[in-house]
């Protein structure tokens, strides 16, 4: 689409800071300025010719200024496509074409910060300005929209060309910014109106609402918004709580890493992996996963990557658990497990993969990040010691690397023969996490001779590999990247240990 020449500009701003050089440049380039109210007074005070919207519409500003720009003769000039039919209608009704719209909205957020007077706050909800921005942004193929003072620099760059024209990419970029401005503005208003309603900030039109048994603690209410049945289906048990869902997701996120593996069982407690094992048969994988930490498994979340058979079901049913997830259950297993009315049984699609993005509430807003989809394979491992890991160690290192990815940082995972032997998580130092992992392994009867260690981040000092070697660990996997990586490498070489580096940190902050 060819460039659009700016002939007429509508200017309606609350904050006049930074406006003068823009409007003077427009006047110098022969652009006709239209405005109303305080903005028109400001432009006239600069000695610039300006046409009033009142003279265009035939209506003055009314209702204490609540209605100034909302008129077909204003919005027709903004929304008209530059094609014969629309332009003919504009000529018929004597409506000028607006090629540029400059807006700065009423300062709603600032008003909320400055006063608790509801009437004053309500008056700072901009109606006409938001409508002008949306209209101009909708018609970005023909109209330049400047939705806030922060966009003045983009307009100044555009005008510096001297020919008072805009390209489609320039107009579209400003339109994207414009819809961001209106979206944020409306969200701020929504948050203010929603005070006292803990759900309102997260309620989405048309999204199913599910009341949970309670929130993180029994005195907290909890709700879920979304299509939960598209991921998990509840087959039996009491109503889900907030914590049940948080832990169930943690179990499923870890289990999907073993989607194509041999029979695997994972045990989750407070979102951390406390038992993980892969074996030739599902029952054996359960027994090995439970052995890693039978204490933490009490009241935990269990997930398997195979249809749950009666033999494994009997073994699992011998302990108390909160939630059990499986891609399917045999009829016998389901009959057995449903005998206990409160145990929650969930099924999930065996092909489930995590969504591309993760969300978390923060300071009344939302943090968004890509999901950590990286899963290292043998080809991703860089051996940095003289001794390379043997095939058994390599398999265990990759297994441990998956486990530590699902531990709160600082995290350490100790593995042997595809079984998590001990883990340390949520510690303020990596040394503490390692000592915790060693202590847990020994507490449940595991020697660590020949085991491997995974760390979710690099070692800034050789102390962790020293402690690991003393415990019997023979191979280490970590991201690398410390300025003192060589210290740990040298220690491993001196003790004939193998070390591999992935180059990818799997930090799990919370």
Cα distance between residue 158 and residue 163, in whole Å: 9
- Please tell me whether residues 343 and 424 are part of one structural domain: no
- Please tell me whether residues 46 and 132 are part of one structural domain: yes
Indicate whether 371 belongs to any domain.
no
Report, as ranges of residue numbers, the positions in the chain whose pLDDT lies below 70.
1-2, 58-59, 62, 64-66, 69, 162, 194-207
**Which residues are catalytic, by number?**
138, 270
Cα distance between residue 299 and residue 241, in whole Å: 14
Q: Is the distance from CB of 143 to CB of 99 less than 8 angstroms? A: yes
Task: Look up the CATH number of the domain holding residue 138.
Answer: 3.40.50.1380
- Please tell me whether residues 290 and 385 are part of one structural domain: no
- Please tell me whether residues 443 and 305 are part of one structural domain: no
Cα distance between residue 209 and residue 231, in whole Å: 15
Task: Look up the CATH number of the domain holding residue 303.
Answer: 3.40.140.20
Indicate whether 93 belongs to any domain.
yes
Indicate whether 490 belongs to any domain.
yes
- Please tell me whether residues 25 and 138 are part of one structural domain: yes
What confidence score (pLDDT) does residue 64 get?
67
| Neighbour order of strands in the sheet with 344-347 | 233-236, 344-347, 321-326, 300-304, 264-269, 272-278
| Eight-state DSSP code of residue 256 | G
**Domain membership of residue 410 as a residue range:** 378-501
Indicate whether 205 belongs to any domain.
no
Indicate whether 297 belongs to any domain.
yes
What confidence score (pLDDT) does residue 65 get?
65
- Please tell me whether residues 317 and 396 are part of one structural domain: no
From 147, 165, 193, the end of a domain falls on: 193
- Please tell me whether residues 337 and 446 are part of one structural domain: no
From 290, 325, 347, the end of a domain falls on: 347
Rg (CA), the chain: 32
Indicate whether 204 belongs to any domain.
no
Indicate whether 211 belongs to any domain.
no
Q: Evaluate if pTM is beyond 0.85.
A: no
* Strand 144-146, strand 32-35: pairing: unpaired
- Please tell me whether residues 444 and 343 are part of one structural domain: no
- Please tell me whether residues 251 and 174 are part of one structural domain: no
- How many DSSP H helices and E strands does the chain contain? 19, 23
From 331, 347, 363, the end of a domain falls on: 347
Place of tokens 């629309």: 86
What confidence score (pLDDT) does residue 1 get?
54
- Please tell me whether residues 136 and 9 are part of one structural domain: yes
Number of domains in the chain: 3
Indicate whether 217 belongs to any domain.
no
Instruction: Report whether the peptide linkage leading into residue 410 is cis, meaning its omega lies within 30 degrees of zero.
Output: yes
- Please tell me whether residues 292 and 189 are part of one structural domain: no
Cα distance between residue 359 and residue 502, in whole Å: 26
What confidence score (pLDDT) does residue 125 get?
86
Cα distance between residue 400 and residue 455, in whole Å: 9
Planar angle of CA 304, 307, 308, nearest 5 degrees: 70
Query: Per-residue pLDDT tens for 121-150?
Result: 888 888 888 989 999 999 998 899 999 888
- Please tell me whether residues 177 and 237 are part of one structural domain: no
Cα distance between residue 35 and residue 101, in whole Å: 10
What confidence score (pLDDT) does residue 150 get?
86
């Amino acid at each position: 689409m060819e460039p659009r020449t700016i002939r007429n500009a509508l200017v309606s701003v609350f904050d006049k800071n930074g406006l003068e050089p823009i409007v003077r440049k427009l006047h110098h380039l022969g652009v006709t300025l239209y405005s109303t109210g305080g903005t028109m007074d400001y432009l006239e005070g600069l000695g610039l010719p300006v046409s009033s919207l009142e003279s265009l519409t035939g209506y003055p500003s009314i209702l204490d200024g609540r209605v100034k720009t909302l008129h077909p003769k204003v919005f027709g000039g903004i929304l008209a496509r530059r094609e014969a039919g629309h332009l003919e209608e504009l000529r018929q009704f004597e409506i000028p074409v607006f090629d540029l719209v400059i807006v700065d909205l009423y300062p709603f957020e600032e008003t909320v910060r400055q006063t608790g007077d509801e009437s004053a706050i309500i008056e700072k909800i901009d109606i006409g300005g938001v409508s002008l921005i949306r209209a101009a942004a909708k018609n970005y193929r023909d109209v330049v929209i400047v939705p806030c003072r922060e966009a003045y620099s983009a307009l100044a760059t555009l005008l510096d060309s001297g020919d008072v024209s805009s390209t489609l990419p320039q107009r579209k970029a400003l339109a994207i910014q414009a819809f961001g401005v209106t979206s944020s503005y409306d969200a701020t208003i929504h948050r203010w109106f929603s005070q006292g309603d803990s759900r309102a900030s997260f309620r989405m039109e048309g999204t199913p609402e599910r009341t949970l048994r309670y929130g993180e603690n029994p005195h907290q209410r909890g709700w879920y918004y979304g299509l939960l049945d598209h991921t998990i289906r509840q087959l039996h048990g009491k109503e889900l709580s907030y914590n049940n869902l948080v832990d169930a997701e943690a179990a499923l996120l870890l289990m999907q890493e073993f989607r194509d593996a041999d029979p695997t069982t994972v045990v989750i407690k407070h979102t951390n992996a406390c038992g993980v094992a892969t074996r030739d048969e599902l029952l054996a994988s359960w027994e090995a996963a439970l052995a890693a930490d039978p204490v933490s498994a009490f009241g935990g979340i269990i997930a398997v990557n195979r249809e749950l058979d009666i033999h494994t079901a009997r073994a699992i049913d011998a302990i108390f658990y909160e939630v059990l997830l499986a891609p399917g259950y045999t009829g016998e297993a389901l009959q057995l497990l449903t005998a206990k009315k409160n145990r929650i049984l969930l099924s999930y699609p065996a092909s489930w993969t995590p969504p591309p993005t993760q969300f978390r509430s923060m300071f009344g807003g939302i943090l968004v990040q890509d999901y950590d989809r990286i899963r290292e394979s043998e080809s991703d491992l860089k051996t940095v010691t003289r001794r390379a890991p043997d095939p058994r160690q390599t398999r265990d290192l990759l297994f441990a690397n998956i486990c530590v990815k699902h531990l709160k940082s600082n995290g350490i995972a100790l593995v042997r023969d595809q079984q998590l032997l001990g883990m340390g998580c949520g510690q303020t130092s990596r040394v503490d996490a390692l000592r915790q992992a060693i202590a847990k392994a020994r507490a449940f009867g595991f020697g660590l001779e020949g085991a491997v260690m995974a760390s979710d981040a690099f070692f800034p000092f050789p102390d962790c590999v020293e402690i690991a070697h003393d415990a019997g660990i023979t191979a280490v996997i970590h991201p690398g990247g410390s300025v003192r990586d060589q210290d740990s490498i040298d220690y491993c070489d001196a003790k004939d240990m193998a070390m591999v580096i992935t180059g990818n940190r799997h930090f799990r902050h919370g």
